[in-house]
Amino acid sequence: MPTPTTRVLEDTGSQVEPPYHLILLDDDEHTYHYVVAMLGSIFGYAPEKGFAIACVVDKDGRAILMTGGLEEVRLKQDAVHAFGADPAMPHSKGSMSAVIEPAHSPA
């Protein structure tokens, strides 16, 4: 019998959804300004955070944009893919690419 200081946890049978990363991939068709503007528009990131992510993408070829549930990450991926070409780059043919990967917890 539970006492006032104990809690009974019920097993609802549902599992917690594993987290996923949305990862922005580098290319040569988009400027830092584009990345900062895109991240501000889609994610609400401040220009400083957008610039920091742009630097990581440029240096490492990829950067994590967010971590969340699969549906949320897919919606943001769609927004990245729909953002359009960089008007400052004449050879920019479309949006940047972002991929979804499972977020593995550290061992």
Where residue 17 falls among pLDDT bands split at 50, 70, 90? Answer: confident
Range of the domain at 95: 20-102
15 is a domain residue? no
83 is a domain residue? yes
- 30 and 86 in contact (C-beta within 8 Å)? yes
86 is a domain residue? yes
Q: What is the pLDDT of residues 78-107, one digit of tens each?
A: 999 999 999 999 999 999 999 999 998 655
2 is a domain residue? no
Number of domains making up the chain: 1
AA identity, residue 6? T
- 97 and 81 in contact (C-beta within 8 Å)? yes
Instruction: Provide the CATH number for the domain around residue 65.
Output: 3.30.1390.10
Q: What is the pTM of this model?
A: 0.82
4 is a domain residue? no
Where residue 10 falls among pLDDT bands split at 50, 70, 90? Answer: low
28 is a domain residue? yes
